[in-house]
Amino acid sequence: MAEGKCLCGALTYELDGPLSAMIHCHCSMCRKHHGTGFSTFVVGPIAGFRWKSGEDRLRRYQSSPKGTRSFCSVCGSAGPLALPGPGIAVAPAAAFDGELGIKPQCHIFVASKAPWDTITDDLPQFDAYPPGFGAHGVDRPVVTPRAGVTEGSCLCGDVGYEIAGAPARMINCHCGRCRHGRAAAHATNVFYKMDQFRWTRGAELVTEYKVPDARFHTVAFCSRCGGKLPRPSPERGIVVVPAGSLDTDPGLTAQMHIFVADKAPWFDISGALPQFPGLPPG
């Protein structure tokens, strides 16, 4: 039995094993909902799924004709879905701390992965759903790049933003707050100066949640769809952009993994990027 929770702790739930699948999804909807390069979800029998708290805080957004996403209305973390039709419960693997008795099995929707996302492990890759899945992807809006400007938006599209010029850095963070806030194996955040950034639409939909015992750690999300959004930090003069919310290429790829001492036990870091147990030196 594993207990899942969102970043703020309002949503808690249990999912009994054995889990039947653990899959990395790179589709544009997962990228926007989680704010990361890919989501990792686990599947278990619906009979093994129980809410412990916070079901009344759960908000749902219909992201496609057949697809619904759930998220915590307080902190925006992606939540679980119980699907009576197929008799399964689907939850973000990162909602659970500790081992889950299963490891990631494959990457799906690799054909629609972000330009800055490089898959470095040896797991099988599928362009969309694996063969025999009996479902199809949906067409998603495509944003034509403009020179010198990087654009982004939430999952429903009601909130949009643009950034002038190049990013300062791009970092994969494996800390517990990022794992629960993004409900993903790790955050991938892009850092810009505050004056490079502006909302182009829907700023009134942006909800922020600050972790009470953190100095700075604050997440931002669209209150309608739960899509992760940039968080301008006036006290630091920077804006932290969840890379998954980008619609165009920031022209940079991740430079390092940080807080790897806190990483999810089911996630193996591959590739040659430098790894730091906590913050990088300096």
Which of residues 75 and 243 has its CB atom nearest to Zn ion in the complex?
75
Fill in the per-residue mask, 128 to 147: x = in contact with Zn ion (CB under 5 A), - = not in contact: --------------------
Residue 156 as a binder of Zn ion (CB under 5 A): the answer is yes
Fill in the per-residue mask, 164 to 203: x = in contact with Zn ion (CB under 5 A), - = not in contact: ----------------------------------------
Q: How far is the CB of 251 from Zn ion (least distance, A)?
A: 24
**How far is Cα 113 from Cα 25, in angstroms, rounded to an integer?**
9
Q: Which CA distances in Å does 177 have to 110, 217, 244?
A: 26, 8, 17
**How far is Cα 34 from Cα 98, in angstroms, rounded to an integer?**
20
Residue 8 as a binder of Zn ion (CB under 5 A): the answer is yes
Selected from 23, 30, 239, 241, the binder of Zn ion by CB under 5 A is 30
The two beta strands, 256-258 and 169-173, are parallel
Residue 10 as a binder of Zn ion (CB under 5 A): the answer is yes
Nearest to 229, CA basis, from 239, 241, 247: 241
Residue 222 as a binder of Zn ion (CB under 5 A): the answer is yes
Contact 72, 5 (CB under 8 A): no
Which of residues 181 and 260 has its CB atom nearest to Zn ion in the complex?
181
Number of Cβ atoms within 10 Å of the Cβ of 48:
16
Phi first, then psi: what are they for 35, rounded to 5°?
A: 80, 15
Fill in the DSSP letter of residue 96.
Answer: B
Fill in the DSSP letter of residue 86.
Answer: T
Selected from 2, 22, 23, 27, the binder of Zn ion by CB under 5 A is 27
Q: How far is the CB of 33 from Zn ion (least distance, A)?
A: 8
Nearest to 72, CA basis, from 59, 61, 83: 59
Map the footprint of Zn ion across residues 68-107, applying CB under 5 A.
72, 74-75
For Zn ion (CB under 5 A), the number of binding residues is 16
Q: How far is the CB of 79 from Zn ion (least distance, A)?
A: 8
Q: How far is the CB of 61 from Zn ion (least distance, A)?
A: 7
Q: How far is the CB of 276 from Zn ion (least distance, A)?
A: 28
Q: How far is the CB of 41 from Zn ion (least distance, A)?
A: 8
The two beta strands, 238-242 and 231-233, are antiparallel
User: Which of the ranges 4-12, 112-120, 241-249, 273-281 carries the binding residues for Zn ion, by CB under 5 A?
Assistant: 4-12
Number of Cβ atoms within 10 Å of the Cβ of 98:
10
- Residue written as tokens 């993903």? 184
What is the rounded end-to-end Cα distance, in angstroms, of the chain? 41
Contacts of 74 (CB under 8 A, 6+ apart): 6, 8, 10, 57, 209
Q: How far is the CB of 29 from Zn ion (least distance, A)?
A: 5
Which of residues 8 and 114 has its CB atom nearest to Zn ion in the complex?
8
Q: How far is the CB of 142 from Zn ion (least distance, A)?
A: 17
- Residues at the interface with Zn ion (CB under 5 A): 6, 8, 10, 25, 27, 30, 72, 74-75, 154, 156, 158, 222, 224-225, 227
